[in-house]
Structure 1
Amino acid sequence: MKLMLICPTWEDVHRRKMRARAFRFPPVNLTLLAAMTPEEWEVSIVDENVDDIDFEADVDLVGITTMTATAPRAYAIADRFRARGVRVVMGGMHVSAMPQEALQHADAVVVGEAEGCWHRVLEDFKRGEMKGIYRSEKFPDLAGLPIPRRDLLRKKANLTTDTIQTARGCPFGCSFCAVSYFFGREYRMRPVKEVIAEIEAMGSKFVGFLDDNIAGDRRYAKELFQALASEGIMWAGQASTTIAKDKELLKLAQKSGCKGLFVGFESISEDSLGEVGKRFNRVEEYREVIKRFHDHGIVVEGAFIFGFDHDDLGVFERTLEFAKKSGLDLAQFGILTPLPGTPLRARLEREGRIISNDWTMYNIGHAVFRPKNMTPEQLEEGTQWAWLQFYSSPSILARLFRLAGRTPSFLLPLLLINAGYHRMVYDAYGRKGWDRWDRRSASG
């Protein structure tokens, strides 16, 4: 029997341009499902971001994963296969939040993490008795998971295929984030020895950790970092600002080979952070957090969100000024997005502020709700302006000059990354986005 696992692409041309090869990671969830599929199945993976789908392929079952922004494309793919009589099962965060919607385009849907019910899906398919909805009885235990089938990926199509996940879940429950409803409010960790075994199987000198917070459980993180220190690798991942408060943890991260962290600062307004339940971020500590990372040889990419109820038109310039002067090496700017299943969406629906249910727009690049202190158009244009300003040539040169005095060995990699962002941003938004915002802000 033949199984095709598909990750759909973005339909929004601007977001496609913002996901250039240099910053793209493969669908690790599909490689894990492939590894969990019995040997009697012939499995293929199609990441539509890098490969075309063969809709005439000889397959028995198609599995599609999707986030909200790619859901319409996922549905279109499913419809084409089903028109041929091929059975389709769908899963992912969007499907878990909107299972009845997804069932209009699939024979079966998986709500939540698929590891706990994947074998049931395949067995029911073989018997011709597929159910409409599958759920795991509990959040899956992460111990004993097989090594993902990275051999099914086209390596040179991504930044790296050597990515790994060590834990799932998040106790914080920020109102805009879908992680806690999908993965749960408690951390579940893989045994460190299994993580190390997978890294050694990769044979790579650089590894990307896909955890939403690599140091969410500090005791586990310290054990992991101690084990990584003897592997001689370099790695990057994502962490909250709280990691910088633990000096021992920071030292271990440095010794383990940590070279870069993506940090969700979200806002430079305490009111906005409180609005979405991220009070553990302390704005007055941001500069010290960045300095501590730098003192340990760690590059920092900061993420910011615009569109909170406390944001006015001045938020773009204030945030940009902070991003430039705080010493951040890289930055990303996104629009607050009320994803299905989140408390944020429930609140904005109650307030009658959702203005679009076109899922392709739910990609942090579009305003799909009515902000309180600006128009949706101003929110979009201000966000584009922040991208364009931060990755303008003068801004990049200033950052690189500062870096040369701090960590000269990072100069070439960060030059290439900044140049990649510059190209992506100007391809997506162009000079028109800059001019539009300047005219609008000047007119008040």
Structure 2
Amino acid sequence: MNVLLLYPKFPQSFWSYDRLMEIAGLKATIPPLGIITVASLLPPEWNIRFCDRNVREETEDDWEWCDLVILSAMLVQKPDFLELVKKAHQLGKKVAAGGPYPTSVTQESIDAGVDYLILDEGEITIPLFIEAVNRGESQGTFRATEKPDVSQSPMPRFDLLDLDAYLMMAVQFSRGCPFNCEFCDIISLYGRKPRTKEPQQAIAELQALYDLGWRGSLFIVDDNFIGNQRNVKRFLRELIPWMEERNFPFTFITEASVNLAEDDELLELMGKSGFYAVFLGIETPDQDSLQVTRKVQNTRNPLVEACNKINKAGLLIYAGFILGFDGERAGAGERIRAFVEETSIPQPMLGILQAPHNTALWDRLAKENRLLVDHENQTGDQNTLMNFIPTRPIEEIAEEYVQAFWNLYDPAQYLRRCFNQCLNIRLANAKKQTMQFPLGKGLRLIAQVFWLQGIRRPEIRQQFWRQLWTIFWKKPQVLNMYLGLCAAGEHFWEYRVLARQRIAEQLHYDPLHPPMKSVSEPLLLEQAS
């Protein structure tokens, strides 16, 4: 069996960092960990070729060579996913597909003509698929009623990756989350009982990347790294000496719930083992909205104090925010903007609420007849109007989103937050840089940032040099982090224009809503100029 593994392209989005990738000479932020784990689960006698289409496109020879195409995708990759299924059928190739998008919205993959649907978690369903292929079955759907023991998961095929193409590498320690947020599909995909790998198993994956020559940042892709605090502490206690023996070859970033701030020991262990940043799902500073969406873990302690404590433990904060919760009061966008400025979170991900399939929110809205089931806007990106009828006017929510996002990523405000956040961080290891760039890419990125922000942008030129000089003298350990955040600003300053344009187009062309002048007219004026 000749198998072509394809990972679809991402559109330009908040997390695509297109402009940053360009100026750094990179292709993608992180590699697709899921599909290279699938590669490890396939029979050793099968011949494998792999293409991450965000790095390079497959060739016509790849298509002629293969007997079977295997795809994995998230919702945001839907357009390219569907095009690949179509091309495979035109060439007479069988298609197997899995991952979050086919698992959550299965009917769309069926309608597209996917031959083998390998849903849920592959450790259980891929062996079922292989057995069906060996029996000569030409199609099938393979599901699991239970969750696999991830301590038995194979090591991903890191050797298939072009390491030089990525900003950072990726590993996984756990799956699942103990919380019950109404809008989140993680608990439907992976369950509420966090399952973890064994410490030595995770360290073996780090060793594999080390042996392949990777040096730099690593994203631990868990949806909630601290879901099982007992096991994550076991891992960190073994990770610290491993990192020390190799002179800290990696720095780590991960995702966690805000209750991280409640565990001093965990914060200390993360700092000592090389973590430089964490993504927090803050969602909103409005306590009423947090209660409505069942994000009660964010209501136990003041959120500003939690952010300050995490900074003092040595961690840069990335965070997600959402507009459009039921019962939300007018001005939510401005309250989010004020919270971000108070906490100096550099890169707030602001999105409009969506109701994903197979979530408690989807089920509730279906019972209330508020779902727009034929709404084609749901794309998995943050600047998409909601796929349900909200409790306040959609035009008001959209206008607050555009205004807040535009102001949050004003170049001067963005650079000021980057500067303040870096100065607020207290370092656990005073000798190590907090962020590492891939070998051979750092000097190019720094030179580009100096040119773009220190010379070509007169509106921030003086601010850039003044802040850079202060960082250099007061806290040189965060210099890489600061320059990396500055470089990312080039992406967001382009993306805020695209986000505003997308919202304006949806309001104008969507027959359910009239156009919104306050968004569309400034956009047209800017395009004309």
Q: TM-score, normalised by structure 1?
A: 0.90
Name 1:392's counterpart in structure 2.
Answer: 410
Q: Give 1:209's match in structure 2, choosing from 185, 210, 220.
A: 220
Please say which of residues 25-34 and 338-347 is displaced more in the overlay: 338-347
Name 1:419's counterpart in structure 2.
Answer: 486
Contact (CA 8 Å) 1:381, 1:433: kept in 2 or not? no
- Give 5+ residue unaligned stretches, structure 1: none
User: Deviation at 1:419?
Assistant: 2.9
The structure with the larger Rg is 2
Does residue 63 (structure 1) correspond to residue 76 (structure 2)? The answer is no
Does residue 220 (structure 1) correspond to residue 231 (structure 2)? The answer is yes
Secondary structure of the structure 2 residue equivalent to 1:238: strand
Name 2:94's counterpart in structure 1.
Answer: 87
Structure 2 CA distance for aligned equivalents of residues 359 and 65 of structure 1: 21
Name 2:381's counterpart in structure 1.
Answer: 363
Structure 1 CA distance for aligned equivalents of residues 14 and 209 of structure 2: 30
Relative to 1, partners in 2 of residues 1:397 and 1:68: Cα closer, same or farther, differing over 3 Å?
closer
Structure 1 CA distance for aligned equivalents of residues 384 and 217 of structure 2: 33
Contact (CA 8 Å) 1:391, 1:418: kept in 2 or not? no
Structure 1 CA distance for aligned equivalents of residues 40 and 519 of structure 2: 52
Structure 2 CA distance for aligned equivalents of residues 7 and 343 of structure 1: 29
Please say which of residues 16-25 and 382-391 is displaced more in the overlay: 16-25
Please say which of residues 276-285 and 106-115 is displaced more in the overlay: 276-285
Name 1:31's counterpart in structure 2.
Answer: 36
Secondary structure of the structure 2 residue equivalent to 1:9: coil
Relative to 1, partners in 2 of residues 1:2 and 1:58: Cα closer, same or farther, differing over 3 Å?
same
Q: Give 1:373's match in structure 2, choosing from 376, 392, 398.
A: 392
Relative to 1, partners in 2 of residues 1:403 and 1:137: Cα closer, same or farther, differing over 3 Å?
closer
Name 2:315's counterpart in structure 1.
Answer: 298
User: Deviation at 1:313?
Assistant: 3.7
Name 1:40's counterpart in structure 2.
Answer: 45
Secondary structure of the structure 2 residue equivalent to 1:229: helix
Contact (CA 8 Å) 1:290, 1:327: kept in 2 or not? no
Secondary structure of the structure 2 residue equivalent to 1:231: helix
Query: Residues 3-402 of structure 1 correspond to what in structure 2 (within 5 A)?
Result: 3-10=3-10, 13=12, 22=21, 24-54=29-59, 56-104=63-111, 105-160=113-168, 162-203=169-210, 204-232=215-243, 233=248, 234-282=251-299, 285-355=302-372, 357-358=375-376, 361-367=379-385, 368-375=387-394, 377-402=395-420
Residue 231 of structure 2 aligns with an amino acid whose one-letter code is Y
Q: TM-score, normalised by structure 2?
A: 0.76
Contact (CA 8 Å) 1:121, 1:130: kept in 2 or not? no
User: Deviation at 1:176?
Assistant: 0.9
Q: Give 2:496's match in structure 1, choosing from 426, 429, 433.
A: 429
Structure 2 CA distance for aligned equivalents of residues 433 and 242 of structure 1: 33
User: Deviation at 1:215?
Assistant: 1.0
Structure 1 CA distance for aligned equivalents of residues 484 and 72 of structure 2: 28
Residue 224 of structure 2 aligns with an amino acid whose one-letter code is N
Contact (CA 8 Å) 1:403, 1:410: kept in 2 or not? no
User: Deviation at 1:61?
Assistant: 0.9
Relative to 1, partners in 2 of residues 1:326 and 1:16: Cα closer, same or farther, differing over 3 Å?
closer
Contact (CA 8 Å) 1:68, 1:339: kept in 2 or not? no
Structure 1 CA distance for aligned equivalents of residues 311 and 350 of structure 2: 21
Over residues 26-45 of structure 1, what are the superposed CA-to-partner deviations in whole Å (9 max), with x where a residue is unaligned? 11000101112222112122
Please identify runs of 4+ aligned residues in structure 1 that moved more than 6 A: 434-438
Name 2:476's counterpart in structure 1.
Answer: 409
Structure 2 CA distance for aligned equivalents of residues 381 and 106 of structure 1: 39
Identity of aligned residues (%): 26
Higher helix share: 2
Residue 344 of structure 2 aligns with an amino acid whose one-letter code is G
Structure 2 CA distance for aligned equivalents of residues 340 and 59 of structure 1: 33
Please say which of residues 349-358 and 316-325 is displaced more in the overlay: 349-358
Relative to 1, partners in 2 of residues 1:46 and 1:312: Cα closer, same or farther, differing over 3 Å?
farther
Structure 1 CA distance for aligned equivalents of residues 53 and 499 of structure 2: 29
User: Deviation at 1:191?
Assistant: 0.8
Residue 222 of structure 2 aligns with an amino acid whose one-letter code is D
Contact (CA 8 Å) 1:267, 1:305: kept in 2 or not? yes
Q: Kindly report the root-mean-square deviation, in angstroms, between the aligned alpha carbons of the 2 structures.
A: 2.8
Relative to 1, partners in 2 of residues 1:357 and 1:89: Cα closer, same or farther, differing over 3 Å?
farther
Residue 414 of structure 2 aligns with an amino acid whose one-letter code is I
Secondary structure of the structure 2 residue equivalent to 1:303: strand
Aligned residue pairs: how many? Answer: 440
Contact (CA 8 Å) 2:20, 2:491: kept in 1 or not? no
User: Deviation at 1:2?
Assistant: 1.3
Name 2:454's counterpart in structure 1.
Answer: none
Contact (CA 8 Å) 1:242, 1:280: kept in 2 or not? yes
Contact (CA 8 Å) 1:94, 1:340: kept in 2 or not? no
Over residues 397-434 of structure 1, what are the superposed CA-to-partner deviations in whole Å (9 max), with x where a residue is unaligned? 32244246445235433433433442222323329949
User: Deviation at 1:260?
Assistant: 0.6
Residue 9 of structure 1 aligns with an amino acid whose one-letter code is K
Structure 1 CA distance for aligned equivalents of residues 181 and 134 of structure 2: 41
Over residues 127-177 of structure 1, what are the superposed CA-to-partner deviations in whole Å (9 max), with x where a residue is unaligned? 3214421023521111232221122122233212x2111111122121111
Residue 316 of structure 2 aligns with an amino acid whose one-letter code is V
Structure 1 CA distance for aligned equivalents of residues 301 and 349 of structure 2: 20
Residue 27 of structure 1 aligns with an amino acid whose one-letter code is P
Name 2:511's counterpart in structure 1.
Answer: none
